[in-house]
Amino acid sequence: MNMSTLIAVDLFFTFVLIGLSWLILEKCVPVVLESFNRRHARQWLLLGISLGFIGKILDNAWWAPTWISKLKHWHTEEWWFHHGPISNLAARHVLGILSAACHLIAIYIQGFAGLRELWSKITVVVVLSAIVWLLVLR
């Protein structure tokens, strides 16, 4: 399978993912908005799901034209790829981390883990991530 075929298949799944993410948001966001003041685990979980899928939509909305520009050999191809880290940072990482935080709050509220346990595990993740990051930048 050549790269153009892989890009075309990837684009198909990009559009499927955007559509399915939108369907999930249609169901989750109203529930979160109407009952968020209760701050139950369910609302935090649905907020985390919503943020995660908003990130997926935004990230895929960026990378779809990026890969189309490569597939079609558009003159904008270099610009899209050069600015890709902006999409990664905002859509993938920030919204992904916020989504994870909402899930962790739901886990805590539900009583599946204590605050000390969660903070110690979060600390390990952040420290290990910093070590890997520093090693990569060396």
Tell me if 78 is assigned to some domain: yes
The total of structural domains in the chain comes to 1
Tell me if 29 is assigned to some domain: yes
Tell me if 14 is assigned to some domain: yes
- Predicted structure pTM score: 0.80
pLDDT (0 to 100) of residue 37: 67
Tell me if 133 is assigned to some domain: no
* Full residue range of the structural domain in which residue 70 is found: 3-113
What does the pLDDT look like over 2-46, one tens digit per residue?
A: 878 888 888 888 888 898 899 998 888 888 777 766 678 888 899
Concatenated DSSP letters of 85-136? HHHIIIIIIIHHHHHHHHHHHHHHHHTSS-HHHHHHHHHHHHHHHHHHHHHH
Tell me if 124 is assigned to some domain: no
Tell me if 134 is assigned to some domain: no
